[in-house]
């Protein structure tokens, strides 16, 4: 399978050519997703914490930095995380931090809250087995690249239920989600492959640059 299995229709007359380029975002080489790469010193404290847990056991939580959450929404999410019984790493902006939230979520018992983290590296860490996200475009692409199942901004009582389901490695629906996530991960990696210069994104970028060069030279597109 490929992220671009069907060709685009021919460009209309007198219009620039169209080139599909996706996914396009800063990403890690595939060989950085092993435990050995995360054990090197020095590492931020949250990486050390991640490395102390077994594979696919941590839920990573990040709801973006553009739209703020109300205190009630943050507390509902915190309670759901605690009730799920699963360890989590929550990237929470400073203005959203609250001592009550930390207590409700069980921070220090099963959870860790940080004001910022290297999201793409966290998602690729072997111990991360799920991503609770606001579904921003960059976060979605990074989640696909990492191959982790995503919870799309649940609220209230459904938080605990969905976290338990997604993080249960023996649950049938969870297994299917992980299978699809791995499939999408492989598709993203193929599209972004740089070493062999065969990825669909690399070919499209090369063609796009070539079109610009030809236009600047006054030539015609071959």
Is 79 within a domain?
yes
DSSP assignment of 134-186:
---HHHHHHHHHHT--EEE---TTHHHHHHHHHH-TT-HHHHHHHHHHHHHHH
1-10, 58-67, 78-87, 125-134 — which is least confidently predicted? 1-10
Q: Which residue has the higher pLDDT, 200 or 214?
A: 214
Is 119 within a domain?
yes
Is 26 within a domain?
no
pLDDT band at 195 (very low <50, low <70, confident <90, very high): very low
Report which of 147, 159, 133 is spatially closest to residue 30, judged by C-alpha positions.
147
Across the range 50-67, mean pLDDT stands at: 91
Is 72 within a domain?
yes
Edge-first strand order for the sheet with 88-91 is 111-114, 88-91, 58-62, 128-133, 150-152
High-pLDDT (> 90) share of the chain, %: 33
The whole domain housing 132 covers: 43-171
pLDDT at 98: 62
Q: Which residue has the higher pLDDT, 12 or 217?
A: 217
CATH code for the domain in which residue 151 is found: 3.40.50.2000
pLDDT at 178: 94
pLDDT tens per residue, range 118-132: 999 999 999 999 999
């Amino acid at each position: 399978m490929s992220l671009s299995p069907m060709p685009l229709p021919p460009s209309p007359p007198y219009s620039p050519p169209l080139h599909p380029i996706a996914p396009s975002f800063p990403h890690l080489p595939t060989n950085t997703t092993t435990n050995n790469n995360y054990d090197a010193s020095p590492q931020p404290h949250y990486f050390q914490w991640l490395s102390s847990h077994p594979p696919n056991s941590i839920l990573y939580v990040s709801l973006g930095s553009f739209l703020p959450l109300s205190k009630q929404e943050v507390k509902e999410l915190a309670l759901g995380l605690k009730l799920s019984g699963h360890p989590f790493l929550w990237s929470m902006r400073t203005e959203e931090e609250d001592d009550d939230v930390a207590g409700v979520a069980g921070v220090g018992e099963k959870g860790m809250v940080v004001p910022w983290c290297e999201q793409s590296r966290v998602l690729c860490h072997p111990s991360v087995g799920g991503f609770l996200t606001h579904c921003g475009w960059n976060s979605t692409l990074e989640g696909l690249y990492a191959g982790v199942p995503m919870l799309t901004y649940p609220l209230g009582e459904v938080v605990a239920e969905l976290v338990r389901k997604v993080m249960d490695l023996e649950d049938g629906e969870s297994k299917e989600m992980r299978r699809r996530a791995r499939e999408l991960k492989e598709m993203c990696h193929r599209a972004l492959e740089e070493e062999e210069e065969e990825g669909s994104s690399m070919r499209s970028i090369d063609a796009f640059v070539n079109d610009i060069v030809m236009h600047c030279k006054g030539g015609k597109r071959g």
